[in-house]
Structure 1
């Protein structure tokens, strides 16, 4: 790759990291809340509410079933309302977050279900409310699994961010399309793929190390 494209790849990498980082900043707390509500409002949950659970489950399932490229287009009016534009890195964060929250919520629900029911029952018998059950029992006990879920979700967002380049979302996907595909500069395509592979490897390595550390803590 020529020297004049090195700054371009560097800038695109920064945009990609910005999209992923901000999207995950919203996804983690909102997905954790939604996943906990899915568990708590289910049958046998501390806040048993079948109707609420059905509505939440329906919303999550719909969010997970819509292909990201379609979601990008479908939420254009909402994106414009929130950030004032539909082009660029900031605009791409909106659909990225909307696509990721339902996915992470199901991971959270599954992770929290792995916590032994006896611990939850003991906490409830001691007078713990729903919020205390979640943050003092479920989350601490499921933390290694939740970290692994965050790792998987982050890598998924990284892949989504590359697709956002197809509609002018910026980042490595945008560079790969504008230079690698439209201008037939194969070296640029290879460079973006290499950077994405490295980013995935780093995220997976860090997530695995942290999950192992927490599981032995």
Structure 2
């Protein structure tokens, strides 16, 4: 490839990392408390609110079942409202975050439900409040599962970030479509695919290493 295309690949990689990092952070910010609430708001649980639990669960399921490319198009007015435009790297963060939030919520819910219920009962017996149980029992014990789940989320976001390139979202997907597909440059498409694979492998390896470390810490605790 020419130096110009190398620069384009580098810039597109930075755009992809920016989209994924921002959407992952925002998705965790919204999805973590939502997942905790879904896991602890059933009948007879810490924050018992079964009706609200069912309503939120239905909304989360509906959001998760919507194909991402359709979601991107469907929320264009919402994206314009928040970002001022519906195209570009920053605008792509909006649908990525909307897609990540329910996904993370279900991952958090599943991880917390895996925690031994006896630990919760023991904390209750010692007089811990519901918030203390969440902060000092549920989240620390669920940390290895949460780490692996968030790793899976980031990997999914990398794939989604490539998909938003089809609608002007920027990043590696946009580069692959504009140069690799529309301009018939298979070498560019190959480089894009290789970079995406490297990113996914790096994220997966880092996530698994962090999960193992968190698991050892929980076991020692």
TM-score interval for Structure 1 and Structure 2 normalised by the shorter chain:
over 0.9
Give the structure 2 partner of residue 78 of structure 1: 78
Give the structure 2 partner of residue 103 of structure 1: 103
For residues 130 and 164 of structure 1, the distance between their equivalents in structure 2, rounded to whole angstroms, comes to 40
Give the structure 2 partner of residue 115 of structure 1: 115
Give the structure 2 partner of residue 216 of structure 1: 216
Give the structure 2 partner of residue 38 of structure 1: 38
For residues 131 and 167 of structure 1, the distance between their equivalents in structure 2, rounded to whole angstroms, comes to 42
Give the structure 1 partner of residue 156 of structure 2: 156
Give the structure 1 partner of residue 204 of structure 2: 204
> What SS does the corresponding residue of 1:213 show, helix, strand or coil?
helix
Superimposed CA distance per residue, residues 45-104 of structure 1 (whole angstroms, 9 cap, x where no aligned partner): 111111010011011101100000000001100011011111100000000000011011
For structure 2, which runs of at least 5 residues remain unmatched after alignment?
none
Deviation at 1:125, TM superposition (A): 2.4
Superimposed CA distance per residue, residues 140-175 of structure 1 (whole angstroms, 9 cap, x where no aligned partner): 001011000010000000100000000000000000
> What SS does the corresponding residue of 1:147 show, helix, strand or coil?
helix
Deviation at 1:127, TM superposition (A): 2.6
Deviation at 1:123, TM superposition (A): 1.5
Aligned residue pairs: how many?
217
Give the structure 2 partner of residue 132 of structure 1: 132
For residues 212 and 54 of structure 1, the distance between their equivalents in structure 2, rounded to whole angstroms, comes to 34
For residues 187 and 130 of structure 2, the distance between their equivalents in structure 1, rounded to whole angstroms, comes to 54
Deviation at 1:129, TM superposition (A): 2.4
> What SS does the corresponding residue of 1:216 show, helix, strand or coil?
helix
Give the structure 2 partner of residue 172 of structure 1: 172
For residues 85 and 60 of structure 1, the distance between their equivalents in structure 2, rounded to whole angstroms, comes to 26
Matched, 1:2 2:2: yes
For residues 81 and 8 of structure 2, the distance between their equivalents in structure 1, rounded to whole angstroms, comes to 30
Deviating more after overlay: 127-136 vs 69-78: 127-136
Deviation at 1:29, TM superposition (A): 2.3
Deviation at 1:197, TM superposition (A): 0.2
For residues 111 and 29 of structure 1, the distance between their equivalents in structure 2, rounded to whole angstroms, comes to 17
